[in-house]
Amino acid sequence: MGRSPSHCLRKIIVKNVRRFTDEEGNVTTKANADLDLAVDAMLQAENLDSILLVTGDGDFLQVVTALQNRGCRVELLGFRNVSKQLQRQVDAFYRGYLIPDLLPFPHEPRNDWGKPGSCVRGVCTKWFPDKGYGFLRFVREITPNLWITDPRAPDSPYESVFCHANELADGLGVDDMLNRETVIEFYLQESEVDEGLIATNVRKVYAPSHP
């Protein structure tokens, strides 16, 4: 059973960053934030139903396991270089680039995410190299139905967008489009053929590294 909003805990811890200068003049900073975060999460676990970690550090793997053993649902938000083991261990993983309005667009300060003419970030769900087109998907808004990933479902918060190969920027190849972990950025335009949306000026934001 979930707790009511009045029982939700929100706590902000401000860490003072210490700076050290070595003999060569190089400056390093240290705050021990990771350790404090792990300790605080464990101390608060009995009061929480779910915990959202914003990190990519695989060192939190044991912390996640311990929290889950205490009955907490652990979700993860990350951008680049997120530990694969950590992604597999948590109950849900969200790529930060795909969250509406979480990461601003410097070139679009008044961006209206999801509306025609706006810029969004998403992934490619289907690509047909021989036909030169495919379909992209982005999150319109954050709802409890994020698990409904099929845009055709009535309650799905996802939107499907047609994309032609001519709209792909340099550096964005077929391999990128066939990989669902590749994050792309694109503009939305209304289709002249049907009531759907089409993608223009499609650029690569993030692609997973391969050993």
Q: List pLDDT tens digits, range 81-90.
A: 899 999 999 9
Write down the domain spans for the chain: 10-97, 119-206
Give the model's confidence band at 35: pLDDT under 50 very low, under 70 low, under 90 confident, else very high.
Answer: confident
pLDDT score recorded for residue 26: 82
| Res. 193: pLDDT tops 80 | yes
pLDDT score recorded for residue 164: 97
119-206 in CATH: which number? Answer: 2.40.50.140
Give the model's confidence band at 44: pLDDT under 50 very low, under 70 low, under 90 confident, else very high.
Answer: confident
pLDDT score recorded for residue 1: 37
pLDDT score recorded for residue 2: 42
pLDDT-above-70 percentage for the chain:
90
10-97 in CATH: which number? Answer: 3.40.50.1010
pLDDT digits (tens, 9 = 90+) for 49-82: 999 999 899 989 999 999 999 999 999 999 988 9
The string of DSSP letters for the chain reads: -PPPGGG--------PPEEEE-TT--EEEE--HHHHHHHHHHHHGGG-SEEEEE---GGGHHHHHHHHHTT-EEEEEE-SS--HHHHHHSSEEEEGGGSTTTS--TT-TT--TTSTT-EEEEEEEEEETTTTEEEEEEESS--TTTT---TTSTT--EEEEEEEGGGBPTT--HHHHH-TT-EEEEEEEE-SSSSSEEEEEEEEEE-----
Rounded mean pLDDT, 118-146: 96
